[in-house]
Amino acid sequence: MKAKFKPLVAALGLAAGMTLSAVAYADTIKIAIAGPFTGSVTQYGAMVKEGVDTAVEMINASGGVLGKQLEVVVMDDGCEPKQGPVVANRVVNDGIKYVVGHVCSGATIAATNIYDSEGVLMISPSATAPAVTDGKNYEMIFRTIGRDDQQGPAAAKFIIETIKPQAVAVLHDKQSYGQGIAGAVRDELEKAGVKVVMFEGINAGDSDYSAVITKIRSSGADFVYYGGYHPEMGLLLRQGAEQGLKVKFMGPEGVGNPDINAIAGNAVEGMLLTLPADFTQDPANADIVKAFEEKKRNAGGAFQLTAYSATAAIAEGIKGAGEDDPVKVAKWLRANSVKTPIGELSWDDQGDLKQFRFDVFTWKADGSKEVYK
């Protein structure tokens, strides 16, 4: 276990030490939610907050952790990589020891080194990019979701075995998450001998993708995979339909946002996507699903139950370590498994889940989804 040096405390001396001591003996254990609460993908932050809030409410109602109540602190990174370190430093400066987040992979990658070096335990319920953990030798960084090199092959397997296309166009948003998963899908398709006729990035935030739609049409692709988030996927679907593009689209969990319906309209009907398996159907989770429903929250969204599970893992880790010490909690989590609504979780040496299940869903024009049949 690496020694955790806190330069902030060293710089501020006794006053900072007294402040941190006060935090250590506070009546609550603070958990920060780091994610987008402004910007174009705020609903992902809302999904994570619903999961964390529900877990905290249930844990607190059952007596809390080591006699203390959990307290949620919301931190907004706007899904922007440059804001990841800003939020991470706020967490450190505020003496918060545990983070659920970050939500977007780019912001997560930018923040992790600060958390690890400062001894803050971070569990992301949604950042799927392998670069979050690969080759970093982190001790304080975990996830409660699978990686793109698990999700991408799952999508590719479905495309190869179920769709059986003649030619595939693979698009991405040029960002860590979108380009990473698009690359994983492309590689698996090519290994299987499926013809990938396009691998091209688009600019996130643009309003007109007619040029790329024209390229798709001229490429002869009969299937499109897009790696990225819902605002761009929604526009691709709508503008493709307007230009008479009659191909099926598929994306990762980042496109699974009800806001896509307002962007794409009826063109979203039949969109395919990979998502964490729907654990709301597990009878063992009935009480948890009911707790969500009583607060008018949706347990079946992309990240609610992964966020709930991240919070539960933190609580179980504190109990298992026997004290509110994030370094000891991280060590306990690496050596033990935790029962959560998304299954019994255990982590490898990088803090990645040893197993995770992604399913393929069909998205409907009314905003609902169902497992592909």
- 32: number of CA atoms within 13 Å, CB side? 26
Is residue 111 within 8 A of residue 85, CB to CB? The reply is: yes
Amino acid at site 91: V
pLDDT over 80 (residue 6): no
In a domain, 71, yes or no: yes
Query: Mind giving me the DSSP string for 32-79?
Result: EEEE-SSSTTHHHHHHHHHHHHHHHHHHHHTT-BTTBEEEEEEEE-TT
* CA 170 – CA 167 distance, rounded (Å): 10
Kindly report the CATH number assigned to the domain that includes residue 239.
3.40.50.2300
- Are residues 289 and 266 both part of a single domain? no
Do 291 and 247 share a domain, yes or no? no
Q: Which of 251, 270, 289 is the last residue of a domain?
A: 270
One-letter amino acid at 143 equals R
Residue 74 maps to a domain: yes
Query: Phi/psi of residue 320, each to 5°?
Result: -65, -40
Q: In this predicted model, which residue has the larger pLDDT, 373 or 132?
A: 132
Each residue's pLDDT tens digit, 313-335: 999 999 999 999 999 999 999 99
> Does residue 14 have a pLDDT over 80?
no
**Across all residues in the chain, what is the average pLDDT?**
93
**Within this chain, do residues 113 and 29 fall inside the same structural domain, yes or no?**
yes
1 pLDDT more than 80: no
Residue 7 reports pLDDT greater than 60:
no
Percent of the chain scoring above 90 in pLDDT: 91
Residues 72 and 164 in one domain: no
Say if CB 119 and CB 155 are below 8 A apart: no
3-class DSSP state for residue 180?
helix
Q: Same structural domain for residues 119 and 171?
A: no
Q: Containing domain of residue 190, as a range?
A: 149-270
Q: What is the pLDDT of residue 2?
A: 46
The count of structural domains within the chain is 2
Choose one of 270, 292, 313: the last residue of a domain.
270
| Each residue's pLDDT tens digit, 170-226 | 999 999 999 999 999 999 999 999 999 999 999 999 999 999 999 999 999 999 999
Verdict on whether the full-model pTM lies above 0.85:
yes
pLDDT of residue 373: 85
pLDDT at residue 38, as a whole number: 97
Same domain, 243 and 336: no
Higher pLDDT, 25 or 361: 361
Distance, in Å, from the CA atom of 177 to the CA atom of 147, rounded to the nearest integer, reads 10
| Domain finish residue from 247, 270, 293 | 270
How much is the average pLDDT of 233-239?
Answer: 98
pLDDT at 22 (0 to 100)? 39
Q: What is the pLDDT of residue 263?
A: 97
pLDDT band at residue 236 under the 50/70/90 scheme: very high
Sequence-separated (6 or more) residues with CB below 8 Å from residue 63: none
Contacts made by residues 14-19, CB under 8 angstroms, sequence distance 24+: 19/95
According to the model, what pLDDT value does residue 155 have? Answer: 97
**Any domain includes 153:** yes
pLDDT at position 26 is: 61
Please check the confidence at residue 19 and state whether its pLDDT lies above 90.
Answer: no
Question: 243-300 pLDDT, tens per residue?
Answer: 999 999 999 999 999 999 999 999 999 999 999 999 999 999 999 999 999 999 999 9
Give the other-Cβ count within 10 Å of 77's Cβ.
Answer: 30
